[in-house]
Amino acid sequence: MSTDALQTLHSSNRIPDRKDVILVTGAAGFIGSCLVKYLNELGYENLIISDDFSRPDKWKNLEGKQYLQRIDREHLLDWLAHEGWEHPIQFIFHIGARTDTTEFNRQIFERLNVQYSQQLWTYATKRQIPFLYASSAATYGDGSKGYDDDHAHIPELKPLNPYGWSKQQFDLWVLSQSITPPYWYGLKFFNVYGPNEYHKGRMASVIWHAYQQIQETGIVRLFQSHRPEYRDGEQLRDFIYVKDILKICVWCMQHLPPSGIYNAGTGQARTFYDLAKATFEAAGKPVQIQYIPIPEDIRNTYQYFTQARIEKLRRAGFQDEFYSLENGITDYVQQYLINHQYY
């Protein structure tokens, strides 16, 4: 098929409707599977979903969800090149990534988070498909450079681990591109929690771990502070409920705001003590907290404060209110964790 013919399959200034085909990568993972469900709820069922489907512990994340076709991550680029034209894609949500912050093999991150993302971006550019990808607040490192998503500020950031480095490398590569998809969005996800993270193990949210500890022992273990300016349990993070992340993602698709990198957080940092207290209350249990040392393998790269600046997102037009930490945790615990439900 000629380039001109391919171009006619896409209306790059048009908002995708419910009959259009949408690609979601990372679709069996935590945020990706929630996004598939949310799209289904809004009437979008013509989805191409992609992930590493070899892990049985992620299969339940996709039960009951509607999609056109499932493509393994390793075959997606070939499929797009040879058969993708049969189902012209109108929007790409690139949520898939290697997200283990305790993995220190940079080659893994280079291949999965940088090179693979570059290839998908190049495909979206060539086919003129709007493209949204998951960046991360891990790019902000220790926070000494602030949490401003202004593009001029991004080259100054110094991530603390290979995962954050890989997300920063792709952000910088994107900003260096003179030819781009018609609309593109890099969302710097802050501390996301919510249903469908059962498979994540050590990398699951603090709320998930807190709830498991409450059920098993009645005690939540929080990290001690190894910095004098913070008391134990008073380290601060911008925790955002996954349902708010979904709203931001789909809002970008439905409104096509100005292209760019945007923070995806609530703009309100809260303490780990607040988080633990809210989890106890949602579970109907008395508050009992024990403080333990931060493991040495992550102690030097541990973030003590994160808080998204969200003025740019607000200026672009996203005006929805976010779940409070207490309301988000209550929904997560009572609607999902107590009965081991999936979204």
pLDDT, tens digit (0-9, with 9 covering 90-100), for 202-244: 899 999 999 999 999 999 999 999 999 999 999 999 999 999 9
Determine the pLDDT at residue 109.
Answer: 79
CA dihedral 73, 110, 263, 187 (to 10 degrees): -20
Determine the pLDDT at residue 214.
Answer: 98
The residues assigned a catalytic role are: 163, 200
pLDDT, tens digit (0-9, with 9 covering 90-100), for 235-271: 999 999 999 999 999 999 999 999 999 999 999 999 9
Q: What is the CATH number of domain 198-237+269-305+328-337?
A: 3.90.25.10
> In the chain, which segments carry CATH 3.40.50.720?
3-193+239-267+308-323
Name the pTM for this structure.
Answer: 0.93
Q: Encode 173-199: b = buried (16+ Cβ within 10 Å), e = exposed.
A: ebeeeeeebbbbbbbbbbbbbbbbbbb
The residue among 177, 256, 246 whose CA lies nearest residue 12 is 256
> In the chain, which segments carry CATH 3.90.25.10?
198-237+269-305+328-337
User: In the CATH hierarchy, which fold is given to the domain comprising 3-193+239-267+308-323?
Assistant: Rossmann fold (3.40.50)
Determine the pLDDT at residue 11.
Answer: 46
The whole-angstrom separation of Cα 203 and Cα 99 is: 8
Instruction: Measure Cα distances from 32 to 29, 92, 134 in Å.
Output: 5, 12, 10
Determine the pLDDT at residue 107.
Answer: 81
Alpha helices for 110-256 (secondary structure H): 116-127, 162-175, 206-217, 242-255
Determine the pLDDT at residue 149.
Answer: 98
Q: Let me know if 229 is exposed, middle or buried by CB neighbors in 10 A (0-12, 13-18, 19+).
A: exposed
* Residues of the chain predicted below pLDDT 70: 1-13, 84-85, 99-104
